[in-house]
Structure 1
Amino acid sequence: MTTETLNPDILAGQDATLARLKADKSGVLGRIGTLETRIARTASEVDAAQAIRYRVFVEEMHAQVPPESARKRRDIDAWDAICDHLLVLDTAIEGDAEDQIVGTYRLLRQDVAMANGGFYSSSEFEVADLVARHPDKRFMELGRSCVLPQYRTKRTVELLWQGNWAYALKHRIDVMFGCASFPGAVPEEHALALSYLHHNALAKGRWRVEALPELEHSMDLMPAEAINMRKALAALPPLIKGYLRLGAMIGEGAVVDRAFRTTDVLIVLPIHTISERYRNYYGNDAGRFAG
């Protein structure tokens, strides 16, 4: 990695993060009150995270899963075995760590993905082309983000991002990306928000990435002059709005995921574009909520 990839503050932050994580034998990436975030340590913790995902994606959002997943009441796919699973735990809950998991995110580094068949997002978007245009950069895919309803608070979201940021620094990641979803399988129901993204946040140039042609649904559903900006921002899902605040760009075209009953867009977030406000907030060494 060259110094052109990340600015000196971030490079120094990576070194500080490595030193701090080595000193912290617990592996905790951040804490706020009774909540803490870290990577799953055992198969039973991954199983518990899959149970959380089932509760959110299937029981709450009515996603369709294979019969075996339904029988086990777990959201499971082939990528689970090669990903790291970021957890948020509420240590005030009595029981083992598996009982304390209230939120999760799935993280897949480029080197691991390339050794195991590629990224999950490649089933919907031309991710391989994007990665190939940046051979000097390390990519990390974010996915399967979910939090139990009673924990959908600012504190939990901050800890998830604390974990992502600390993990990215530790592994010297240059670009984070992944699918983010609108509810429902009819893109036209989100014409205002999708059109806003198309006209105001589209990834361009060497960062351009498109939906697979056979799956692509246009996001250009309204002319720019017809968009009420305030209403458009209000119509964005909180996760996508949060990505945009960080400085993320959006891929060209939406994809309908019929199994999960969502309309997906691709988020592209180069580390160097993360706004100074948020780097200062979490710390260039991910130290704000450090364990």
Structure 2
Amino acid sequence: MSMELIDRDFARETGAAAPIVHLGTTDILGRIGSLETRLARTEREIDAAQAVRYTVFVEEMKAQVDQDSARRRRDVDSWDALCDHLLVLDRSIEGDTEDQIVGTYRLLRHEVAIAHGGFYSGSEFDVGALVTRHPDKRFMELGRSCVLPQYRTKRTVELLWQGCWAYALKHRIDAMFGCGSFPGVRPEEHALALSFLHHNAVAKGEWAAGALPHLYREMDLMPEEAINARRALFAMPPLIKGYLRLGAMIGNGAVVDQAFNTTDVLIILPIASISGRYVNYYGADAGRFASAC
């Protein structure tokens, strides 16, 4: 993905009635070199993805987990059983498939969430009101995104996006949302980036959503005239910056997650708002990186 300032040309729509993805007889959603992306097929693969999450969230980012999770060295919660788990695997690694997982994303579809009490991010943000406001749209929640340090490259990120895009098209998703995280629990340490988001990307109108009142932390930490856009984008986590480039909006207010040692913002991405150049890049049928499958 290019590193220029955010495009303002996000008006090109893809349409809500997306086509079903046809990737042949395989369940592989994309390949680049030795890397491939697909959904987890077995409980063992989900367990291995939870081990990758533990490495990133607990060992690297110092998240707090319960004693059982620490003993098993797994990042686990009750939502795992409800979600599909998107994987990126490096097939050049010798060993079992479980040893080849280098990145993962957790995907929760609208109907599954509603049948089980709501979305994970509803514990921090008022996503219930957002969903209720759009009774004709199907939502998907993205979460627990992580990649092992040595694989944090353009190719891995492209495959994660390829997998999410193919999955969204297959299930006729109209909008995606999820938490994006800044490291640490002091929002003021991210005053430049958070203020930029507040002044330039906060969702309004029918897409507005905010932090729950008892968790709300102010994002407007600097006056708009004091913000250097290039420096703000440079200071932003790559995942959040990537969402913005796709055409995402941000919910109003941040939330401090003490357990995960992060400051969270809500990412809101209607499919119809995705920048046309990214639709063209990955393919309207998610075929860009699926041709080798």
Over 3 Å off, 4+ runs: none
Unpaired segments ≥5 residues, structure 1: 1-5
Distance in 2 separating the partners of 1:7 and 1:228? 32
Structure-2-length-normalised TM-score? 0.94
Correspondence for 2:36: 36
How far the C-alpha of 1:152 sits from its partner, in A, is: 0.2
> Secondary structure at 1:236's aligned position in 2?
coil
Bigger relative contact order, structure 1 or 2 (CA pairs below 8 A, ≥6 apart): 2
Distance in 1 separating the partners of 2:46 and 2:187? 32
> Secondary structure at 1:278's aligned position in 2?
helix
Correspondence list, 1:87-236, <5 A: 87-236=87-236
Count of aligned residue pairs for this structure pair: 279
Query: Percent of pairs identical after alignment?
Result: 74
Distance in 1 separating the partners of 2:162 and 2:33? 14
CA RMSD of superposed structures (Å): 1.0
Unpaired segments ≥5 residues, structure 2: 1-12
Distance in 1 separating the partners of 2:186 and 2:157? 27
Residue 44 of structure 2 aligns to which amino acid in structure 1? S
Distance of aligned partners of 1:54 and 1:130 in 2 relative to their CA distance in 1, 3 Å threshold: same
Correspondence list, 1:32-111, <5 A: 32-111=32-111
Residue 196 of structure 1 aligns to which amino acid in structure 2? F
How far the C-alpha of 1:7 sits from its partner, in A, is: 4.2
How far the C-alpha of 1:229 sits from its partner, in A, is: 1.1
> Secondary structure at 1:64's aligned position in 2?
coil
More helix by share: 1
Encode CA deviations 1:104-163: one digit per residue, 9 max, x unaligned. Answer: 000000100011121000000000000000000000000000000000000000000000
> Secondary structure at 2:289's aligned position in 1?
coil
Residue 195 of structure 2 aligns to which amino acid in structure 1? S
Residue 200 of structure 1 aligns to which amino acid in structure 2? N
Distance in 2 separating the partners of 1:208 and 1:42? 37
Distance in 2 separating the partners of 1:169 and 1:126? 25
How far the C-alpha of 1:260 sits from its partner, in A, is: 0.5
Structure-1-length-normalised TM-score? 0.94
